[in-house]
Each structure stands twice: as C-alpha cells, then as structure tokens.
Amino acid sequence: MADLRNDLSTHILSHLLNNDEYCRRVIPYLQPSYFEGPSKITFDMIVGFVAKHNKLPTGKVLQLELQKVNADSDLLTATSVVLDEISNKTDVDTAYLIKETEKWCRDKAIYAAIMESIQIIDGANKEFNDDAIPGILSKALGVNFDQAIGHDYIDDSDERFEFYNRVEERVPFDLEYFNKITKGGLPNKTLNICLAGTGVGKSLFMCHMASAALKENRNVLYITMEMAEERIAERIDANLMDVPIEQLETLPKNVFEGKIAKIAKAGVGKLIVKEYPTGAANVGHFRALLNELKLKKTFAPDIIFVDYLNICSSSRMKAMGGSINSYTYIKAIAEELRGLAVEFNVPVVSATQTTRSGFSNSDVGLEDTSESFGLPATADLMFALISTEEMEELGQVMVKQLKNRYNDPTKHKRFVIGIDRSRMKLYDAEESAQQNITKDAPMADTGPIATWGDNERKDFSNFKI
C-alpha cells in the first residue's frame, strides 16, 4: 500500500488517459494544485482535451499538445517522460483506485488548507481572519466523491411520493396567520429573517416566539448582541408571567418565585440566553457555544435566535478589508448562519434593520433591507413588521411577506397581529381586522392611514404589491 500511495499520481494520470469510467468519475474532484511539475502539465493537458472534445486523448495526441506548452526545456523533457510512463493503463483495479484517489485528494486538500491557514495567521492573506481557519479545514476534511448522480424522474418516483407525504418536523408559531404562511411553522435547516425599523418590535417578536417555543416544551438558545442577557430574560418573564414589564421590578420575591414555580410546573423547555459584545461574535463562536452546551449541560436547542444578524461578525471575512463591501459582508454572515442551521438541524431566526427610507415607509419592501440585498437572497423566510401611530393606538402591527420558500407568498401577503408591548406579547387579531388587507386593496402609503377592525371605509389605493 505504501508504494502505491507514494506513486499514486502516476496511476491516477494513467487511468485518466486510458480509462473512460475512471476519468468521468474522478475528474470533477481533481484540482490542478494537487499536481506538481511534469504531472501538473500532463493533468492540465488531459483535462483541457476532455473538456474541449468530450473524449479521452491518446498518448500521441498529448505529445503533440506538449509542443504547444510554453515551459523550459528540462520541464518539457520530464513531461514527455511522464507521458511515456502513463501511455499504457496500469493494472490497478478501477474501483480500488477510485477509493485511493479520494483519500489522495483529501490529503492534498488538507495540506493546501493548512498552508492557507498559515498564511492567514502570518497576515499574508488579507481577505480572511483567523476565525475562517476552522471552516477552511472543515471543507478540506469533507472532500469526498459523492456517489449520488441526481434524481431520476421515473425510476425515483416512489421516493418522490414518500417525500410529498412525509411530515416535516417544524417549530410551530402560536399565531394563526404565521402558521398559515409557513404551512405549520419553521422547518429545520432554515434561516428566517424579521425586517423592521428601530423600535418597531424585532426583539419583541423574537422574545415572543422564544416564549411560545418554551411553552411547547422546546429548548431555545437565544444569542444576543444588542441587549444584556438579563434584559432578554426580563422580556420573556413578562411574556410567560403575563405581567407588565415595568411591574417586574416591584414584584415581591415570594410572588416572583411563585410565578416561576407555576411556569415550571406547567412544563416548559429549557432556555439559554448568551450575550456577546456587539460585532464581536460570529458563527465560530456560536458553534463552540453549542458544542460546549451539549458537553456540559446536555443541552441541544430546537430553535436558535440571533439578535441580530447585522451586528454579528463574519467567520470568513474581515469587516474592514479594503475589498469587502457591506453587500458581500452581510451576505457572508447570512450564509454562515444558514450553514449553522443546516449543521445543527434547527431553524435559525434573526432580524435586520430597514434603511432610512424604509423606516418612514408604511409599505416596506425587499429594497428597504439595510446594508445588503444579499441577505434576502439567502433567507428562506423574510417578512416585515410595519407600524404607524394609528396602528399603535389600536395595539396592532402589520406583517408583510417579502420572501417565502415554504408557501405561496401571495397568499396572506399582508395580515395584522395584535401587540401588547408592556407584556412583550403578540396575539391573533380578530378576523375583522384582516378585512381589506389584500393585494387588491392595500394600505395607503399616503393619505389617511387605515384603522382595522371597524366599519369605516379604508383608503388602500397606493400600497405596493
């Protein structure tokens, strides 16, 4: 085995040149950087010929192609020797060589990842920071020859039918219309974004949803970079205890303990609130936290809240890099959070700010996403919370779907929910409040603001679709 591994590149090149099955199987995973000197020139010629002509070259063809290569004479002579060596197929079994080639590619990828990591540590690579190193190494360790070759429409129809009828695990809302638009809740491995202006209720929404998940006996991890851990717990106390938040400070200790005991007796999931400095934490920190919670507290969350995305940092990119703009940077954070959701098989919920123009807009759209339009491109569900003075007086907030991969976003595109800011709660509004909230009769962007739930005539003429 040792002799084969030491000379494996020769066997690989020989089979690339003489074995069509092997060539088609492994060529997508081989990188030019895995070869050196004459072997690299040979590999480049084989790959270039296959890409251009869709068939294997012969040794004589490659000798002719070699004459077109611009390199020093010693290197060309050494390459000609390699071509002579690989002109005949070696006697190594194809299936066995495919497995060995996979290991060889992984070894090469790991070596390249280590060298790139050293450059990052030494400061030679200005694009990435130290937090990108675990991801680079993980990608190299994950190199494998995927056996799947796609879904056959006819032959795999039974599997497709099972998929259609499979009940997907979801984290449900306690709000009727949110369950309608998501077909029953948030699926695992998804990124879900709430868009709203300052003070409209992004954190309130996430705290309410965290409370609802706890009441469903689900474990919740709430990561905050905007408020202290105690402030998040205070909001969840107000929600679960059904007590105005300003009264929590005046509750006698025995009353407070009694309410906590009542909540515990009713049966709730486990909540962990973790605070990080603003702009200082990234997915690498979150991953380490999740692994530590699993090890030390046997805690695995059913849903993760990140409050909020724009004040995270990227694990791959430096925020102040000269070539990094806000579009690229925020999109990178969104992709990393969604990757975390996939890795730990949970839904991730976060939020983002509206732009300055979106803050005063009574009909927020995707174009009002601050800093990066790459965020909605990555999210699975994105919706806006819209509030006006009139709606505040009614104790209501409007929800507008902006993107939805779970359902048709034109169904219930807008709807109204009730809001109790003192108790940090959201609730279903009466059905009469949903009247006239349709795409055909939207809420006016200018002029009189509609009041929902009464019998007055509404002006919805200029609301965007």
- The overall average pLDDT reported for the chain is 83
Verify cis geometry, omega within 30 degrees of 0, for the bond prior to 177.
no
| Helix count and strand count (H, E) for the chain | 18, 11
Tell me: pLDDT of 293 over 80. yes
Residues 442 and 440: their CA atoms lie apart, in Å, by: 6
pLDDT band at 143; cut points 50, 70, 90? confident
Q: In angstroms, rounded to a whole number, what is the distance separating the alpha carbons of residues 412 and 401?
A: 8
Q: Which pLDDT score, from 0 to 100, does residue 368 have?
A: 66
pLDDT of residue 393: 87
Strands 381-386 and 190-196: parallel
Which residues, at least 6 apart from 254, have a Cβ–Cβ distance to it below 8 Å? Answer: none
* SS3 state of residue 407: coil
Judge contact between 86 and 42, C-beta under 8 A.
Answer: yes
What mean pLDDT comes out for the span 108-129?
87
For residue 413, pLDDT over 60 is answered with yes
**More confidently predicted of 99 and 462:** 99
Each as own residue / partner, the long-range contacts of residues 339-345 (CB below 8 Å, 24 or more positions apart, any chain) are 339/283, 340/283, 340/286, 340/287, 340/304, 341/188, 341/189, 341/190, 341/191, 341/304, 342/189, 343/287, 344/290, 344/300, 344/301, 344/304, 345/188, 345/189
| Mean pLDDT of all residues in 36-45 | 91
Q: What is the pLDDT of residues 181-204, one digit of tens each?
A: 999 999 999 999 999 888 888 899
Domains of the chain: residue spans and CATH: 2-141 (1.10.860.10), 170-434 (3.40.50.300)
> Would strands 220-224 and 303-307 be described as parallel, antiparallel, or unpaired?
parallel
pLDDT tens digit sequence for 15-35: 988 888 888 888 888 889 899
pLDDT of 175 over the 50 cut? yes
Confidence check: pLDDT of 230 > 50 = yes
How do residues 251-276 score in pLDDT, each as one tens digit? 999 999 999 999 988 888 999 999 99
Q: How far is CA 237 from CA 121, 193, 233, 255, in A?
A: 44, 24, 6, 13
**pLDDT by residue (tens digit) across 339-373?**
999 999 999 999 988 866 555 566 676 766 766 67
Q: Are strands 414-420 and 425-428 parallel, antiparallel or unpaired?
A: antiparallel
pLDDT score for 362: 65
Quote the pLDDT of residue 57: 87
Tokens encoding 50? 């296959």
pTM: 0.65
The predicted-structure confidence for 430-451, as pLDDT tens digits, reads as follows: 887 787 665 434 444 433 334 3
Q: What percent of the chain shows pLDDT beyond 70?
A: 86
Q: Residue 211, by phi and psi: left (phi above 0), alpha (psi -120 to 50) or beta?
A: alpha
Mean pLDDT value of segment 168-185: 91
